[in-house]
Amino acid sequence: MGRKVTVATCALNQWALDFEGNLQRILKSIEIAKHKGAKYRLGPELEICGYGCWDHYYESDTLLHSLQVLAALLESPVTQDIICDGVFVSGVTLSPCCRKILLIRPKMALANEGNYRELRWFTPWSRSRQTEEYFLPRMIQDLTKQETVPFGDAVLSTRDTCIGSEVCEELWTPHSPHVDMGLDGVEIFTNASGSHHVLRKAHARVDLVTMATTKNGGIYLLANQKGCDGDRLYYDGCALIAMNGSIFAQGSQFSLDDVEVLTATLDLEDVRSYRAEISSRNLAASRVSPYPRVKVDFALSSREDLLEPLSEPIEWKYHSPAEEISLGPACWLWDFLRRSQQAGFFLSLSGGVDSAATACLVYSMCHQVCEAVKHGNQEVLADIRSIVHQTGYTPRDPRELCGRLLTTCYMASENSSRGTCDRARELAQQIGSHHIGLSIDPAVKAVMGIFSLVTGRSPAFAVHGGSSRENLALQNVQARVRMVVAYLFAQLSLWSRGAPGGLLVLGSANVDESLLGYLTKYDCSSADINPIGGISKTDLRAFVQLCRERFQLPALQSILEAPATAELEPLADGQVSQTDEEDMGVTYSELSVYGRLRKVAKTGPYSMFCRLLVLWKDTCSPRQVADKVKRFFSKYSANRHKMTTLTPAYHAESYSPDDNRFDLRPFLYNTRWPWQFRCIENQVKWADAAFLPAKYLSRKHQLISIED
């Protein structure tokens, strides 16, 4: 009897509503799986229509075209001699022998937190271990000669094994379906996912799968979307195959390949012997309620597999957060560029860390494009030729490619220093971007001239005796002029060089500045897309350091060493007189702490104060902690309205303030927070009475916490 099975799982770059492209990628993945000897192929969640259709799920067209693609799959000879399991609206499993639908397994736990809104469009199946007969649409009946198919919570029984499916979120629930399925004899678990990238998330995903098979034994296949599905999210692949707590196949987390298929050849007897010696599991299995079984007259193994070598376990290779930043947003940029049919990017390069990081992401993208072409990726080659409008072009040098795709511009004003200008120019030279230097002073003077002509008043900077309102307005007009200039050059700079096409404008505001609102509404942070908008300043600095070493860009060292500054106020003897942290009244490291407490820990002003009173007890007095928290919430709430116009940004951080879907809050607050701040003040009085200031305490006493 055969006992070795070869199974396949996929990571596909499926685009929302791209039915033609999605069909071709599904067929290609099945062909690859069969070529590698697989008898079972798993695809990602909602692979026919794409995961990110959002309110298009309400449209009958989405259902109609999905059914048409399903019919095309049933008609294709490619789907013969293999069980094809994917997700259409629910899990649809195709028969390998007679082009029939074996089972529709609906999702039982819907993701509805963070960026997910599945309960808006779908209803979960709530009848555990029950099925009903589902009447197929006529176009499918005509092909399969089936009137109905089983619909519900069931498993497949082939001649040699048992297969059970769970869908994405179900792996993350407290009592996942694989637990009871495994106890009921299911040996192969499959999970069709639509899981997007967040920094440091891969560990959790891998741990869930390995732990599932460690406790219960079995083979686990996870498929996932990959790429940008048309919005702020990047789906990061990481398809995998695990057995009995070990990984046997690892897919790439970031790549430009639209189709990636993993296979592993595993021995079902290894699952059975692993389970046999876990007596506690076997006792639990004797009490479990059985699942309905759909019998399939097909075997995943065969006698001919006897000499087939088995796959060996491997160690999962993780990227560092800096590496994740260098790869994920770069792949996201590539998908936006090729699908928007634009000719490149325009970036206002200020000589600071944020815009330098954005430039480095484009340069990293160019590296990945050259590597993909070098390794024979014909889709990437065709896309880049279309972007640069040259049918015979083949990119080989990332620096040369960056010169074609990235236009950088240093927009100087009378408040700009020589240092930032030099740093921007040096970085542009080293990455190869087409660089422009210009002065915005004539435009700023023209705008202020209109104001003075109408009002008869001329505002002044604070250093020249002006009020804070005048000072802020004079800074904002510079920032907003830069946005206008950026869009003008994005539309016409290629035209001026005799080249076709326009450019996507890139923003470069980080997640910490957005959280506090330390940006001008409709300034250079306003752009088409922002690859760093979901990344903290701390992580960005680590990424820039990585780029300095990996890409040999020495200009980045001086950028890292320079103080962060907006350069919107007058210089003092030719030197920068304004720094970001001084302007904000808070450090970037503190902003990261505030951000995680506000969003991840879900604290308001009072709870945040209580947390920080303990966290910062060795460095700050209760009064200092109170002042910091009140300052943050006052500025955060006053500037929250800016989040409503924030440029669409790559989602990478768990405390992103993105107002579109992830962080739903009011944008008009009582910025005085009278009740909350009064509670803080009452706690400060108690803390001051209970404890002496930290600087008067001995080292021993400094270890006392507020709970003591």
pLDDT tens figures, 510-542: 999 899 988 899 987 899 999 999 999 999 999
**Distance from C-alpha of 213 to C-alpha of 209, rounded to nearest angstrom:** 7
Higher per-residue confidence, 303 vs 229: 229
Q: What is the mean pLDDT of the chain?
A: 92
Q: Of 49, 84, 162, 168, which one is the catalytic site residue? A: 168
Q: 96 falls in which pLDDT band (50, 70, 90)?
A: low
Within 8 A by CB and 6+ apart from 491, the residues are: 502, 503
In a domain, residue 473? The reply is: no
In a domain, residue 335? The reply is: yes
Give the pLDDT confidence score for residue 525 in this predicted structure. 80
With b for 16 or more beta-carbon neighbours within 10 A and e for fewer, the 334-344 pattern comes to bbbbbeeebbb
Q: Indicate the pairing of strand 188-193 with strand 219-228.
A: parallel
The question of whether 493 is a catalytic residue gets the answer: no
Residues 111 and 248 in one domain: yes
Residues 224 and 342 in one domain: no
Residues 149 and 183 in one domain: yes
The stretch 328-349 carries a mean pLDDT of 97
Q: Please give the distance of CA 42 from its chain centroid, rounded to a whole number.
A: 23
Give the pLDDT confidence score for residue 2 in this predicted structure. 58
The stretch 16-43 carries a mean pLDDT of 96
Any idea what DSSP says for residue 530?
Answer: B
Instruction: Give the three-class secondary structure for 570.
Output: coil
Share of the chain above pLDDT 90, in %: 86
Residues 210 and 108 in one domain: yes
Residue 63 predicted with pLDDT over 70: yes
Residue 697 predicted with pLDDT over 60: no
Residues 175 and 199 in one domain: yes
Residues 137 and 206 in one domain: yes
The question of whether 302 is a catalytic residue gets the answer: no
Report the number of distinct structural domains present in the chain: 3
Q: Indicate the pairing of strand 155-157 with strand 406-412.
A: unpaired
Residue 258 predicted with pLDDT over 90: yes
Beta bridge partners of 246: 243
Residues 630 and 567 in one domain: no
The stretch 493-513 carries a mean pLDDT of 95
Lowest mean pLDDT among 343-352, 508-517, 552-561: 508-517
The stretch 63-67 carries a mean pLDDT of 95
What is the domain extent for residue 642? 595-698
Give the pLDDT confidence score for residue 218 in this predicted structure. 98
Structure tokens at 672: 């005085």
The question of whether 350 is a catalytic residue gets the answer: yes
In the numeric block, the tokens 């001026």 are attached to 496
Give the pLDDT confidence score for residue 701 in this predicted structure. 36
Residue 405's CATH number: 3.40.50.620
Residues 165 and 220 in one domain: yes
Residues 681 and 606 in one domain: yes
**pLDDT tens, residue by residue, 608-622:** 999 999 999 999 999
In a domain, residue 315? The reply is: no
Give the pLDDT confidence score for residue 613 in this predicted structure. 93
**Taking the model in full, what pTM does it have?**
0.92
**Distance from C-alpha of 393 to C-alpha of 246, rounded to nearest angstrom:** 44
Q: 702 falls in which pLDDT band (50, 70, 90)?
A: very low
**pLDDT tens, residue by residue, 111-136:** 999 999 999 999 999 999 999 999 99
Residues 27 and 119 in one domain: yes
Any idea what DSSP says for residue 96?
Answer: S
In a domain, residue 448? The reply is: no
- Do 105 and 90 touch, CB atoms closer than 8 A? yes
Q: Of 34, 39, 107, 599, which one is the catalytic site residue? A: 107
In the numeric block, the tokens 């780029």 are attached to 547
Residues 603 and 536 in one domain: no
In a domain, residue 523? The reply is: yes
Q: Of 10, 45, 326, 508, which one is the catalytic site residue? A: 45
The question of whether 107 is a catalytic residue gets the answer: yes
In a domain, residue 443? The reply is: no
Residue 655 predicted with pLDDT over 80: yes
Q: Residue 225: in which H helix or E strand, if any?
A: strand 219-228
The stretch 493-504 carries a mean pLDDT of 96
